[in-house]
Structure 1
Amino acid sequence: MAQLITPAELDCLVRSGTVRVLDVRYRLDRPDGSADHLDGHVPCAVYVDMETELSWHGRPEDGRHPLPATADLEAAVRRWGIHDNDTVVVYDDDRALGASRAWWLLTRSGVADVRLLDGGLRAWVAAGLPLESGPVVPEPGDVSLTPIAEPVLSIDEAAAFAASGVLIDVRAAERYRGEVEPVDPIAGHIPGAANLPTGAYMDGERFRDAESLRELFASVGIAEGVTAAAYCGSGVTAAQAVFAAELAGLRLGIYPGSWSQWSNTPGRPIATGAAPAEVTASV
């Protein structure tokens, strides 16, 4: 179950030394957040790199941020100083997009207590709490991870998903409609997918309340008992929708290959426009 923690609550844990904090700053236009981390971060926070630790890179048809192998993720998590039964708090400075990816990978790999800083780094600063500069290099941990147990959609499963459930595309509306595509080779969306952009789940840097989130998901047909999954550009920001869904008492799967995999795979149909199923072209 998704959990939020306030800056004041995190400050207490940091002062008592009973928490592992992860700084997962990442943006599409600035994927390397290490310099920002060095300038200032929550005390004891370890920098986590999206490109090399929360994903791996292969061929274009694998997508831009495929899920890391369990052994590789475990090695990274131990480098962050995490032990079994640790309380872990993750944060970033951009709508919980990077932090949600870390939360999803950790919780689905067997780390039981992973929380997300409500409001991110901006809320920490706004609360008047201190920042620390420079690198944080903890003693290695010995956590043991397990392979992700819940369903993770393949490209073929994503193609068939709309026939049996609700598939949502969480990219910006103009990318979904196919009007612009700043990163991937073709614009548009997976036929049958509805659009529910990342910003819709948030009020600034904070998640909306549970009732508002339930109403938001209901607007595209997602309710308790409905099979549903999310995708985005490269599998990173879809995790934010999963976190929001859990706050609302709902469950979402993920298609991690997302649009970056779909648009690089020959023969896949492409839909454009505001309607979910207007097939207009193929890759």
Structure 2
Amino acid sequence: METLMNVQTLRDRMTSGAQTVLLDVRWVLGDPHGHRNYREAHIPGAVYVDLETQLCAAPFPGSGRHPLPEPEALQEAARQWGINDGDVVVAYDDNGTLAAARLWWLLRDAGFASVALLDGGLSAWRASGFELESGEEQHCLGSVALGSGAMPVVELLDLSGLQWQGVLLDARAAERFRGEVEPVDPKAGHIPGARSAPTTENLQPDKRFRPAPELAARFAALGADGNAPIAVYCGSGVTAAHEIAALEIAGYPAALYPGSWSQWSSRAELPVATGA
């Protein structure tokens, strides 16, 4: 299935009655009101997904802020969202799909291929003049069977010896990469050898993804042109999934470092680089 679905295609699926599970991942770092925002206005039929409790495991010492959920927990959550085997799932948020991409990546990793991101998210839906609903959606439980390990990952041990032979992209804001600011994690800076590739630069001003040729040119300029393995990290493994989606659109497969900077920076023995 294509990585992206545009709002008109989604609208056509909804009006034709094609089976679609629509998931609202309303989450922004530092904003605890995602569920309230969902209840105020969401795309009709969308089910709310709580990133902190359903798309992450509870953090533990040395894990990073948003560990990946256990496969059994993700499967139970997916059934609560109403997913069955063979369904088409579309995920969105109201922030350029920066959070929805976490759900996209997790389902892909679980072997569920028929999942797409709504390009432009809620803002694109609104801009098209389509209706919104408020309150909670009633839906039936699903019976989907999920696995794990279908998407590539790199772990701390793969990177901490500085033996990584591929390209490592840092998806955080450039000022965090340079070490000028650090709003949440223990230390400022970046993993030595990483290249700054802010996730926001994957998007156009209207929060839709840039066209595939532009994304390919962007990543090729960073050395991520498919000639060497690519891995991506961010603050805690959430927005890095968005970068992986953008790389996929560009035609380049990439691995996720789930612990990301929140894990790396918590280890006193690991080196930290600053500057551009």
Q: Structure 2 length as normaliser, TM-score? A: 0.96
Displacement of 1:112 in angstroms is 1.8
Tell me which moved more, 2-11 or 65-74: 2-11
Secondary structure of the 1:251 match is coil
Structure 1 match to 2:259: 257
Secondary structure of the 1:230 match is strand
Alignment of 1:176 with 2:188, yes or no, is no
Displacement of 1:60 in angstroms is 3.9
Alignment of 1:14 with 2:14, yes or no, is yes
Quickly say closer, same or farther: Cα 1:182–1:209, change in 2 above 3 A.
same
Alignment of 1:235 with 2:237, yes or no, is yes
- Alpha-carbon distance in 1 for matches of 2:116, 2:32: 22
Alignment of 1:154 with 2:151, yes or no, is no
Secondary structure of the 2:99 match is helix
Secondary structure of the 1:203 match is coil
Is the contact between residue 191 and residue 270 of structure 1 (CA under 8 Å) also seen in structure 2? yes
Is the contact between residue 161 and residue 167 of structure 1 (CA under 8 Å) also seen in structure 2? no
Structure 1 match to 2:246: 244
Displacement of 1:158 in angstroms is 2.4
Amino acid at match of 2:216: R
Is the contact between residue 233 and residue 261 of structure 2 (CA under 8 Å) also seen in structure 1? yes
Q: Deviations over 1:154-209 (max 9, x none)?
A: 11112346641000101001100001000011101000100000111110201001
Structure 1 match to 2:214: 212
Unaligned runs of 5+ in 1: 275-283
Is the contact between residue 32 and residue 49 of structure 1 (CA under 8 Å) also seen in structure 2? no
Structure 2 match to 1:143: 144
* Matched-pair identity in %: 49
Alignment of 1:28 with 2:29, yes or no, is yes
Secondary structure of the 1:229 match is strand
Is the contact between residue 234 and residue 260 of structure 2 (CA under 8 Å) also seen in structure 1? yes
RMSD: 1.3
- Alpha-carbon distance in 2 for matches of 1:143, 1:235: 25
Structure 1 match to 2:95: 94
Is the contact between residue 152 and residue 254 of structure 2 (CA under 8 Å) also seen in structure 1? no
- Alpha-carbon distance in 1 for matches of 2:115, 2:234: 23
Task: Find runs of 4+ consecutive structure 1 residues off by over 4 angstroms.
Answer: none
Amino acid at match of 2:62: E
Residues matched between the structures, number: 274
Secondary structure of the 2:26 match is coil
- Alpha-carbon distance in 2 for matches of 1:75, 1:32: 24
- Alpha-carbon distance in 1 for matches of 2:94, 2:228: 32
Displacement of 1:12 in angstroms is 1.8
Tell me which moved more, 143-152 or 85-94: 143-152
Q: Structure 1 length as normaliser, TM-score? A: 0.94
- Alpha-carbon distance in 1 for matches of 2:146, 2:43: 25
Is the contact between residue 188 and residue 271 of structure 1 (CA under 8 Å) also seen in structure 2? yes
Quickly say closer, same or farther: Cα 1:43–1:161, change in 2 above 3 A.
farther
Amino acid at match of 2:120: G
Alignment of 1:130 with 2:131, yes or no, is yes
Is the contact between residue 158 and residue 255 of structure 1 (CA under 8 Å) also seen in structure 2? no
Displacement of 1:25 in angstroms is 1.1
